[in-house]
Amino acid sequence: MNQAVYLQTSQHSSMSFKQLLNLYRLEAKFEWLKTIRNPAFALPAILFPALFYVFFGVVMNQDNIQAASYLLCTYGTFGVMGPALFSFGAGLAVERGQGWLDIKEASPMPGSAQIVSRVLVSMGFSVLILLTLGLVAGLLAGVTLSVGQSVMLSVILILGGLPFCLLGLTLGLLLKAESAPAVVNVIYLPISFLSGLWIPITMLPSFLQSFAQFLPPYHLAQLALKVTGQDVGGRVWMHIAVLALFSVTFFATSLWAFNKK
Protein backbone atom coordinates (compact mmCIF):
# COMPACT_ATOMS: atom_id res chain seq x y z
CA MET A 1 0.00 0.00 0.00
CA ASN A 2 2.77 2.37 0.87
CA GLN A 3 3.86 2.98 -2.67
CA ALA A 4 5.65 6.18 -3.42
CA VAL A 5 4.19 8.85 -5.62
CA TYR A 6 6.35 9.38 -8.64
CA LEU A 7 6.42 12.50 -10.68
CA GLN A 8 3.53 12.85 -13.02
CA THR A 9 4.05 12.13 -16.66
CA SER A 10 5.79 14.75 -18.72
CA GLN A 11 2.62 16.53 -19.71
CA HIS A 12 2.20 17.59 -16.08
CA SER A 13 5.70 18.64 -15.26
CA SER A 14 7.25 20.00 -18.42
CA MET A 15 6.58 23.28 -20.12
CA SER A 16 5.97 23.75 -23.81
CA PHE A 17 8.16 26.16 -25.74
CA LYS A 18 5.22 28.53 -25.98
CA GLN A 19 4.74 28.45 -22.21
CA LEU A 20 8.41 29.17 -21.59
CA LEU A 21 8.35 32.06 -24.04
CA ASN A 22 5.32 33.45 -22.23
CA LEU A 23 7.13 33.07 -18.90
CA TYR A 24 10.10 35.14 -20.08
CA ARG A 25 7.78 37.68 -21.71
CA LEU A 26 5.75 38.21 -18.53
CA GLU A 27 8.83 38.27 -16.32
CA ALA A 28 10.32 41.03 -18.48
CA LYS A 29 7.02 42.90 -18.77
CA PHE A 30 6.36 42.97 -15.04
CA GLU A 31 10.01 43.73 -14.24
CA TRP A 32 9.64 46.74 -16.53
CA LEU A 33 6.34 47.88 -15.00
CA LYS A 34 7.70 47.38 -11.51
CA THR A 35 10.72 49.57 -12.29
CA ILE A 36 9.11 52.30 -14.36
CA ARG A 37 6.36 52.73 -11.76
CA ASN A 38 8.95 53.57 -9.15
CA PRO A 39 9.61 57.27 -9.79
CA ALA A 40 12.37 57.44 -7.19
CA PHE A 41 14.33 55.09 -9.43
CA ALA A 42 13.06 55.88 -12.91
CA LEU A 43 13.26 59.68 -12.91
CA PRO A 44 16.85 60.11 -11.71
CA ALA A 45 18.01 57.22 -13.92
CA ILE A 46 16.58 58.87 -17.04
CA LEU A 47 17.06 62.55 -16.22
CA PHE A 48 20.43 62.73 -14.44
CA PRO A 49 22.60 61.98 -17.49
CA ALA A 50 20.65 64.55 -19.55
CA LEU A 51 20.87 67.09 -16.74
CA PHE A 52 24.63 66.63 -16.40
CA TYR A 53 24.90 66.90 -20.15
CA VAL A 54 22.99 70.19 -20.13
CA PHE A 55 25.45 71.58 -17.59
CA PHE A 56 28.72 70.34 -19.04
CA GLY A 57 27.85 69.85 -22.68
CA VAL A 58 25.62 72.87 -23.27
CA VAL A 59 25.82 75.60 -20.62
CA MET A 60 29.53 75.46 -19.75
CA ASN A 61 30.62 74.62 -23.24
CA GLN A 62 29.38 77.33 -25.49
CA ASP A 63 29.05 76.44 -29.15
CA ASN A 64 31.90 73.92 -29.19
CA ILE A 65 30.19 71.21 -31.20
CA GLN A 66 33.24 68.96 -31.07
CA ALA A 67 33.16 68.96 -27.28
CA ALA A 68 29.38 68.54 -27.25
CA SER A 69 29.51 65.43 -29.41
CA TYR A 70 32.41 64.05 -27.35
CA LEU A 71 30.41 64.50 -24.17
CA LEU A 72 27.33 62.94 -25.78
CA CYS A 73 29.30 59.70 -26.13
CA THR A 74 30.71 59.78 -22.61
CA TYR A 75 27.49 60.84 -20.87
CA GLY A 76 25.75 58.13 -22.89
CA THR A 77 28.16 55.65 -21.33
CA PHE A 78 27.56 57.17 -17.91
CA GLY A 79 23.80 56.94 -18.49
CA VAL A 80 23.60 53.26 -19.46
CA MET A 81 25.74 52.23 -16.48
CA GLY A 82 23.25 53.66 -13.98
CA PRO A 83 20.22 51.41 -14.46
CA ALA A 84 22.48 48.40 -15.01
CA LEU A 85 24.20 48.89 -11.68
CA PHE A 86 21.15 50.04 -9.75
CA SER A 87 18.40 47.77 -11.08
CA PHE A 88 20.59 44.75 -10.50
CA GLY A 89 22.67 45.92 -7.58
CA ALA A 90 20.34 47.87 -5.38
CA GLY A 91 17.04 46.41 -6.64
CA LEU A 92 18.12 42.82 -6.21
CA ALA A 93 19.66 43.45 -2.78
CA VAL A 94 16.40 45.00 -1.57
CA GLU A 95 14.24 42.13 -2.83
CA ARG A 96 16.66 39.64 -1.40
CA GLY A 97 16.54 41.37 1.98
CA GLN A 98 12.75 41.24 2.04
CA GLY A 99 12.71 37.50 1.51
CA TRP A 100 10.97 37.98 -1.82
CA LEU A 101 13.70 36.15 -3.72
CA ASP A 102 13.14 33.14 -1.43
CA ILE A 103 9.60 32.87 -2.78
CA LYS A 104 10.86 33.12 -6.35
CA GLU A 105 13.55 30.54 -5.66
CA ALA A 106 11.04 28.12 -4.19
CA SER A 107 8.89 28.55 -7.30
CA PRO A 108 9.85 26.87 -10.56
CA MET A 109 10.84 30.19 -12.12
CA PRO A 110 14.11 29.56 -13.99
CA GLY A 111 16.92 31.65 -12.46
CA SER A 112 17.77 32.90 -15.92
CA ALA A 113 14.33 34.55 -16.26
CA GLN A 114 15.26 36.88 -13.43
CA ILE A 115 18.57 37.79 -15.09
CA VAL A 116 17.25 38.08 -18.65
CA SER A 117 14.34 40.28 -17.55
CA ARG A 118 16.61 42.63 -15.63
CA VAL A 119 19.06 42.87 -18.54
CA LEU A 120 16.15 43.75 -20.85
CA VAL A 121 14.85 46.35 -18.41
CA SER A 122 18.32 47.91 -18.16
CA MET A 123 18.43 48.03 -21.94
CA GLY A 124 14.97 49.59 -22.06
CA PHE A 125 16.19 52.30 -19.72
CA SER A 126 19.28 52.75 -21.86
CA VAL A 127 17.02 53.48 -24.85
CA LEU A 128 15.11 56.14 -22.91
CA ILE A 129 18.32 57.68 -21.60
CA LEU A 130 19.89 57.82 -25.05
CA LEU A 131 16.72 59.35 -26.50
CA THR A 132 16.68 62.17 -23.95
CA LEU A 133 20.42 62.72 -24.34
CA GLY A 134 20.04 62.68 -28.11
CA LEU A 135 17.26 65.25 -27.97
CA VAL A 136 19.28 67.57 -25.74
CA ALA A 137 22.38 67.14 -27.91
CA GLY A 138 20.49 67.78 -31.14
CA LEU A 139 18.27 70.64 -30.00
CA LEU A 140 20.42 72.49 -27.46
CA ALA A 141 24.02 71.63 -28.29
CA GLY A 142 23.67 71.52 -32.05
CA VAL A 143 25.32 68.10 -32.38
CA THR A 144 24.63 66.53 -35.77
CA LEU A 145 25.10 62.80 -36.18
CA SER A 146 24.11 60.86 -39.29
CA VAL A 147 21.42 58.20 -38.90
CA GLY A 148 24.10 55.55 -39.22
CA GLN A 149 26.19 57.15 -36.47
CA SER A 150 23.20 57.48 -34.15
CA VAL A 151 22.25 53.85 -34.65
CA MET A 152 25.83 52.66 -34.20
CA LEU A 153 26.30 54.71 -31.03
CA SER A 154 23.02 53.42 -29.58
CA VAL A 155 23.83 49.79 -30.35
CA ILE A 156 27.30 50.06 -28.79
CA LEU A 157 26.02 51.68 -25.63
CA ILE A 158 22.98 49.45 -25.20
CA LEU A 159 24.95 46.23 -25.63
CA GLY A 160 27.85 47.70 -23.67
CA GLY A 161 25.66 47.83 -20.58
CA LEU A 162 26.06 44.06 -20.16
CA PRO A 163 29.26 43.98 -18.07
CA PHE A 164 27.71 46.55 -15.75
CA CYS A 165 24.57 44.42 -15.40
CA LEU A 166 26.77 41.53 -14.33
CA LEU A 167 28.75 43.70 -11.93
CA GLY A 168 25.42 44.87 -10.51
CA LEU A 169 24.26 41.25 -10.22
CA THR A 170 27.32 40.38 -8.15
CA LEU A 171 26.78 43.41 -5.91
CA GLY A 172 23.06 42.65 -5.58
CA LEU A 173 23.85 39.16 -4.37
CA LEU A 174 26.51 40.29 -1.92
CA LEU A 175 25.29 43.56 -0.44
CA LYS A 176 22.79 44.22 2.32
CA ALA A 177 19.64 46.05 1.26
CA GLU A 178 20.31 49.10 3.42
CA SER A 179 23.85 49.69 2.23
CA ALA A 180 23.48 48.62 -1.41
CA PRO A 181 22.56 52.01 -2.96
CA ALA A 182 25.42 53.74 -1.15
CA VAL A 183 27.99 51.11 -2.11
CA VAL A 184 26.80 51.13 -5.73
CA ASN A 185 27.28 54.91 -5.82
CA VAL A 186 30.73 54.62 -4.32
CA ILE A 187 31.67 52.39 -7.25
CA TYR A 188 29.62 54.07 -9.98
CA LEU A 189 30.69 57.68 -9.55
CA PRO A 190 34.48 57.25 -9.13
CA ILE A 191 34.88 54.79 -12.00
CA SER A 192 32.85 57.15 -14.20
CA PHE A 193 35.11 60.06 -13.40
CA LEU A 194 38.33 58.02 -13.68
CA SER A 195 37.24 56.62 -17.05
CA GLY A 196 36.90 60.11 -18.46
CA LEU A 197 33.13 60.17 -18.68
CA TRP A 198 32.68 63.58 -17.08
CA ILE A 199 35.73 65.39 -18.37
CA PRO A 200 37.69 64.04 -21.34
CA ILE A 201 40.27 61.43 -20.47
CA THR A 202 43.04 63.44 -22.14
CA MET A 203 42.55 66.20 -19.59
CA LEU A 204 43.33 63.82 -16.70
CA PRO A 205 46.92 63.45 -15.40
CA SER A 206 48.83 60.77 -17.28
CA PHE A 207 48.99 58.27 -14.40
CA LEU A 208 45.19 58.38 -14.23
CA GLN A 209 45.03 57.89 -17.99
CA SER A 210 47.07 54.69 -17.58
CA PHE A 211 44.94 53.59 -14.67
CA ALA A 212 41.78 54.03 -16.78
CA GLN A 213 42.89 51.06 -18.90
CA PHE A 214 41.76 48.84 -16.03
CA LEU A 215 38.25 50.28 -15.86
CA PRO A 216 35.44 48.88 -18.01
CA PRO A 217 33.67 52.25 -18.59
CA TYR A 218 36.84 53.61 -20.20
CA HIS A 219 36.72 50.91 -22.87
CA LEU A 220 33.00 51.34 -23.51
CA ALA A 221 33.45 55.11 -23.83
CA GLN A 222 36.36 54.64 -26.24
CA LEU A 223 34.20 52.37 -28.40
CA ALA A 224 31.44 54.99 -28.38
CA LEU A 225 33.93 57.72 -29.28
CA LYS A 226 35.03 55.70 -32.30
CA VAL A 227 31.66 56.58 -33.81
CA THR A 228 32.49 60.29 -33.79
CA GLY A 229 36.16 59.69 -34.42
CA GLN A 230 37.18 61.24 -31.10
CA ASP A 231 38.70 58.25 -29.31
CA VAL A 232 42.35 58.12 -28.25
CA GLY A 233 43.12 55.52 -30.92
CA GLY A 234 42.93 52.12 -29.22
CA ARG A 235 41.92 49.13 -31.30
CA VAL A 236 38.27 48.17 -31.54
CA TRP A 237 38.86 44.47 -30.90
CA MET A 238 40.99 45.28 -27.86
CA HIS A 239 38.19 47.32 -26.26
CA ILE A 240 35.68 44.60 -27.07
CA ALA A 241 37.99 41.93 -25.66
CA VAL A 242 38.46 43.85 -22.41
CA LEU A 243 34.71 44.36 -22.02
CA ALA A 244 34.11 40.66 -22.75
CA LEU A 245 36.74 39.73 -20.19
CA PHE A 246 35.06 41.92 -17.58
CA SER A 247 31.69 40.34 -18.45
CA VAL A 248 33.06 36.84 -17.96
CA THR A 249 34.74 37.86 -14.71
CA PHE A 250 31.62 39.48 -13.30
CA PHE A 251 29.51 36.52 -14.40
CA ALA A 252 31.88 34.23 -12.52
CA THR A 253 31.79 36.41 -9.41
CA SER A 254 27.98 36.48 -9.53
CA LEU A 255 27.87 32.68 -9.69
CA TRP A 256 30.25 32.59 -6.75
CA ALA A 257 28.11 35.10 -4.84
CA PHE A 258 24.97 33.12 -5.62
CA ASN A 259 26.43 29.89 -4.29
CA LYS A 260 27.89 31.59 -1.27
CA LYS A 261 24.67 32.92 0.20
Partner 1 sequence: MQQHAVESISPTSSIISVNHLTKSFAETKALNDLCLDITSNRVLAILGANGAGKTTLINILLGRLQADSGDVSVFSSKAGNQEVKRQTGAMLQVANLPETLKIKEHIQLFQSYYPNPMPYEKVIEYAGLAELQNRYSKKLSGGEKQRLLFALSICGNPKLLFLDEPSVGMDVESRQSLWRAIRDLKSQGTSIVLTTHYLQEADALADEIVLLKQGKVIKRGTSEQIKASVSSTTIRFHSQQPSEVFNALEGAVQVSSNGKYTQIQTHQVNQTLKALLNQYADIEDLTVSSAGLEDAFLQLNDDNSGELQ
Nearest Cα residue to 122 out of 45, 230, 194, 11: 45
Nearer to partner 1, 60 or 255 (CB): 255
Q: Which residues between 48 and 107 bind partner 1 (CB under 8 A)?
A: 95, 97-100, 102-103, 105-107
Nearer to partner 1, 45 or 54 (CB): 45
Judged by CB under 8 A, how many residues of this single chain contact partner 1?
38
CA angle (100 as vertex; 109, 108 as ends), nearest 5:
15
- Residues near 109 by beta carbon (within 8 Å), at least 6 away in sequence: 23, 27
Q: Is 203 in the site for partner 1 (CB under 8 A)?
A: no
Nearest Cα residue to 25 out of 17, 14, 37, 13: 17
Cα separation of 119 and 161, whole Å? 8
From 32-40, 80-88, 141-149, 195-203, give the range in contact with partner 1 by CB under 8 A: 32-40
How far CA 87 is from CA of 35, 91, 125, in Å, comes to 8, 5, 10
Q: Is 13 in the site for partner 1 (CB under 8 A)?
A: yes
Nearer to partner 1, 105 or 241 (CB): 105
From 5-13, 127-135, 162-170, 223-231, give the range in contact with partner 1 by CB under 8 A: 5-13
Amino acid at 86: F
Q: Is 147 in the site for partner 1 (CB under 8 A)?
A: no
Nearer to partner 1, 23 or 116 (CB): 23
Instruction: Please report how close the Cβ of residue 225 comes to partner 1 at its closest, in angstroms.
Output: 37
Cα separation of 43 and 92, whole Å? 19
Q: Is 7 in the site for partner 1 (CB under 8 A)?
A: yes
SS3 (DSSP) at 28:
helix
Q: Is 33 in the site for partner 1 (CB under 8 A)?
A: yes
For residue 9, give the DSSP letter: P
Amino acid at 229: G
Cα separation of 201 and 196, whole Å? 4
Residue 134 in contact with residue 150, Cβ under 8 Å?
yes
Among residues 1, 63, 146, 260, which is the contact residue for partner 1, using CB under 8 A?
1
Q: Is 259 in the site for partner 1 (CB under 8 A)?
A: no
Instruction: Please report how close the Cβ of residue 168 comes to partner 1 at its closest, in angstroms.
Output: 17
Nearer to partner 1, 9 or 146 (CB): 9
The binding site for partner 1 (CB under 8 A) comprises 1-8, 11-16, 19, 22-23, 26-27, 30, 33-35, 37-38, 95, 97-100, 102-103, 105-110
